[in-house]
Chains A and B, each alone.
Chain A
């Protein structure tokens, strides 16, 4: 599954060493990210209050303003207001490791398609 991350979008590397996409999925379920987002591979919930994350790996930007890179994504997932002031996503109760796992999952899940 992790090697799928090597099948990178042109010019980007989304491979994340020491991040586990499987643990990332569990963290997503524990934190309830699906309450706002439609996340690939998460059957329920498919929240509509926030943007859909289908094909997230192909997006150039996070929230339209931040480059879509593993380190930035992990920081954003954990504390969006601090990473990108003025953003609409709230801070989430995640450890830094969980945030990295979630980022790895998002890349892996959208690359799988």
Chain B
């Protein structure tokens, strides 16, 4: 929903995507040139001078145009492509920040990992990274196959249940980069968006420290309703009794740029609308509607969630 670049694959924001973009331009140039040659050859074959036609009309044309030149071009491209593949999958330094992203139907579970591989902070549908440094993503799935794709930062990688695929990403400068699930996963697959937010390293460190600091739980009607209505069965808010893992972690939901996995803006009204009846917005998603809640109750829960930063 953010207004980012028009052609993300051709406007990379980091080195991994950038090297792919360079390859893309080379390939586009090659393809254009070859197409032009073929069209020119067809033109000559039909409408060219007799001299040109006779030069074209022999098996030499096939040997050169069909075998010789393609083999040369393809070999060069193959070598380039394979070495780039190797570079893109080269191991990152051991101290690289690691984040485990788990695909769910139809949202993303984001867990920031510490050096031992334990998740110290859990979020959903959004990833914060420091600019200028690589971040290693561990991609998994809890149900069906999904695919993580933020084109301005890297190519895509599938999230296959039973496997863990890893991929580094890096943004050169602060910015907001959006993406979308790229492997059909049924239902509202079309509404499964993601966003990566890159910060200045100092800002990033400060944000993480703030978030990791122990928090005083917010009290009030909203908090009570959150427990009483059963939200805690599926959602977790760190520092409270709510410890459900079936749905997105709501510890920092107030800071998110969007709701519903990138499909709604985040404000008190949309929170109320989503909780009240998310099926009308994202049909088939796993959260049931809460039509029994009155508008006042919805507003209480929504303000409670707004405060979860």
Asked if A and B form a direct contact in the complex, defined as CB atoms under 8 angstroms apart, the reply is: yes
Q: With A and B bound together, what is the CA distance between A5 and B174 in angstroms?
A: 45
How many Å from the CB of A39 to the closest CB on chain B? Answer: 12
Among B270, B272, B299, the most chain A Cβ lie within 10 Å of the Cβ of B270
Point out the residues of chain B lying under 8 angstroms from A46, CB to CB. 280
How many Å from the CB of A51 to the closest CB on chain B? Answer: 10
* B106 within 8 Å of A (CB atoms): no
Point out the residues of chain A lying under 8 angstroms from B299, CB to CB. 88, 90
* A96 within 8 Å of B (CB atoms): no
Q: Summarize A's interface: helix, strand, loop or mixed.
A: loop
- Asked whether, in the complex, the Cβ of B265 is within 8 Å of the Cβ of A88, the reply is no
Chain B residue at minimal CB-CB distance from A44: B281
- Asked whether, in the complex, the Cβ of A31 is within 8 Å of the Cβ of B273, the reply is no
Q: With A and B bound together, what is the CA distance between A45 and B298 in angstroms?
A: 18
- Asked whether, in the complex, the Cβ of B268 is within 8 Å of the Cβ of A91, the reply is yes
* B11 within 8 Å of A (CB atoms): no
Point out the residues of chain B lying under 8 angstroms from A47, CB to CB. 273, 276-277, 280-281
* B139 within 8 Å of A (CB atoms): no
Q: Which interface class (under 10, 10 to 19, 20 to 34, 35 or more) fits A?
A: 20 to 34
Point out the residues of chain B lying under 8 angstroms from A89, CB to CB. 269, 295
Q: Which interface class (under 10, 10 to 19, 20 to 34, 35 or more) fits B?
A: 20 to 34
Q: With A and B bound together, what is the CA distance between A44 and B270 in angstroms?
A: 13
- Asked whether, in the complex, the Cβ of B267 is within 8 Å of the Cβ of A31, the reply is yes
* A41 within 8 Å of B (CB atoms): no
- Asked whether, in the complex, the Cβ of B295 is within 8 Å of the Cβ of A35, the reply is no
Among A30, A32, A36, A44, the most chain B Cβ lie within 10 Å of the Cβ of A32
- Asked whether, in the complex, the Cβ of B264 is within 8 Å of the Cβ of A90, the reply is no
- Asked whether, in the complex, the Cβ of B269 is within 8 Å of the Cβ of A90, the reply is yes
Chain A, residues 47-90, CB within 8 Å of chain B (1/0): the string is 11110000000000000000000000000000000000000111
* B79 within 8 Å of A (CB atoms): no
Give chain B interface residues in 235-288, CB to chain A under 8 Å: 259, 264-265, 267-270, 272-277, 280-282
* A1 within 8 Å of B (CB atoms): no
- Asked whether, in the complex, the Cβ of B269 is within 8 Å of the Cβ of A36, the reply is yes
How many Å from the CB of B276 to the closest CB on chain A? Answer: 3
27 CB contacts below 8 A, A to B, read A30-B265, A31-B265, A31-B270, A33-B269, A34-B273, A35-B281, A36-B269, A37-B273, A45-B273, A46-B280, A47-B277, A47-B280, A47-B281, A48-B277, A49-B274, A49-B280, A49-B291, A50-B273, A50-B276, A88-B294, A88-B295, A88-B298, A90-B268, A90-B299, A90-B302, A91-B268, A92-B268
16 new A-B contacts, CB < 8 A, other than A50-B276, A92-B267, are A31-B270, A32-B267, A35-B272, A36-B273, A44-B281, A45-B264, A45-B282, A46-B280, A47-B273, A49-B277, A50-B273, A90-B267, A90-B268, A90-B269, A90-B272, A90-B302
